[in-house]
């Protein structure tokens, strides 16, 4: 157990994004194992984000545990004639606390724009849900030397219209697209550099005090063996975990390495 986080005011947040994996039965089995294995963890916020179809059952199971519930998307509207959309009230009833927004897979396959992500983030805040807003450059953008420009545009665009208070309560996730599901992790130095840059952008938008309080997760092939070094960086405040969150043993190992 390390004390390396003592200097950081921000509490670590480690979230598992199960994506389009796990039937309801499988999700129940996974979360049952996590509740058992993580029952003593108090030092970090642990979040699981199952598919919508599993939220109800998982919600009932985590209610009395130290695990919080997240969803993987949210409508930019409320109830109404929006076929296929999930309104905030539906998530609130299930005690969902977080919503992942603007994941690169949604930006890529559903053409989600920064403007749409900003509308969804505003909708989340208006309904007491905490958005986890994802940003990150592609490999081509990194190789072209435009990582900072791309990430700054995404941060400004995806948080546009939010108040300083809402930005402060938002979780950001820096996820280089080239590191997602590829087994290629950004080095801790590469990740720290972009996280520090994002904090600078936040400071220029809403001032130093707000920027210092925003939690910024890293995502991209995080696993037990690299978690400690990544999470030890001064501006990395947690992890958004895809593949390694699908097996209790792997996700638990990441959390054990974070405390
Ligand atoms: C993700 O999709 O948010 C992610 C980080 O995936 P993986 O951990 O599998 O790279």
Read off the pLDDT of residues 92-104 as tens digits, 9 standing for 90 and up.
999 999 999 999 9
Domain annotation for the chain: domains and CATH numbers: 2-256 (3.20.20.70)
Residues designated catalytic:
103, 175
What is the position in ligand 1's atom list of the atom closest to the CA of 134? 3
Rounded-to-10 torsion of CA 99, 101, 104, 108 = 120
Which residue's C-alpha comes closest to atom 3 of ligand 1?
Answer: 242
Question: Would you say residue 4 has pLDDT above 60?
Answer: no
Q: What angle do CA 203, 6, 174 make, to 5 degrees?
A: 45
The answer on pLDDT for 13 being more than 90 is yes
- Going from the Cα of 181 to the center of ligand 1, the distance in angstroms, rounded, reads 5
As a whole number, the mean pLDDT across the chain is 96
* Residues 230-250 pLDDT 10s: 999 999 999 999 999 999 999
**Count of Cβ atoms closer than 10 Å to residue 184 Cβ:** 12
On the question of pLDDT at 185 being above 70, the answer is: yes
pTM confidence score? 0.96
Q: How far is the centre of ligand 1, averaged over its atoms, from the C-alpha of 132 (Å)?
A: 14
Instruction: For residue 50, give every residue at least 6 positions away whose Cβ sits within 8 Å of its Cβ, in sequence order, or none.
Output: 18, 22, 27, 31, 58, 69
Cβ atoms of 75 and 85 within 8 Å: the answer is yes
pLDDT interval class at 205 (50, 70, 90): very high
Q: Give the rounded percent of residues in the chain with a pLDDT score beyond 90.
A: 93
Cα 210–Cα 211–Cα 214 angle in degrees, nearest 5? 90
Taking the alpha carbons at both ends of the chain, their separation in whole angstroms is 6
Q: Quick one: average pLDDT of 179-183?
A: 89
Q: What is the DSSP letter of 186?
A: P
The pLDDT score that the predictor gives to residue 108 is: 96
* Token representation of residue 11: 């509490």
User: What's the pLDDT tens digit per position in 112-154?
Assistant: 999 999 999 999 999 999 999 999 999 999 999 999 999 999 9
């Amino acid at each position: 157990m390390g004390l390396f986080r003592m200097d950081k005011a921000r509490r670590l947040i480690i979230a598992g994004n199960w994506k389009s994996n796990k039937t309801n039965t499988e999700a129940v089995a996974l979360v049952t194992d996590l509740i058992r294995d993580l029952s003593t963890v108090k030092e970090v916020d642990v979040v699981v984000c199952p598919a919508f179809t599993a939220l109800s059952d998982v919600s009932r199971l985590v209610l009395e545990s130290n695990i919080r519930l997240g969803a993987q998307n949210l409508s930019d509207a409320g109830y109404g004639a929006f076929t296929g959309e999930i309104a905030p009230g539906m998530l609130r009833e299930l005690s969902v606390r977080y919503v992942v927004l603007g994941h690169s897979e949604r930006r890529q396959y559903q053409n989600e724009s920064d403007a749409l992500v900003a509308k969804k983030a505003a909708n989340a805040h208006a309904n007491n849900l905490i958005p986890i807003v994802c940003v990150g450059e592609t490999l081509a953008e990194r190789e072209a030397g435009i990582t900072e420009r791309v990430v700054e545009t995404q941060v400004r665009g995806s948080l546009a219209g939010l108040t300083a208070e809402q930005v402060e309560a938002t979780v950001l996730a820096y996820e280089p697209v080239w590191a997602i599901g590829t087994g290629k992790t950004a080095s801790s130095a590469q990740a720290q550099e972009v996280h520090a840059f994002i904090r600078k952008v936040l400071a220029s938008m809403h001032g130093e005090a707000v920027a210092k309080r925003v939690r910024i997760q890293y995502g991209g092939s995080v696993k037990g063996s690299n978690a400690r070094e990544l999470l030890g960086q001064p501006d990395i405040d947690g992890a958004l975990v895809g593949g390694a969150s699908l097996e209790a043993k792997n996700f638990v190992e990441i959390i054990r390495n974070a405390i």
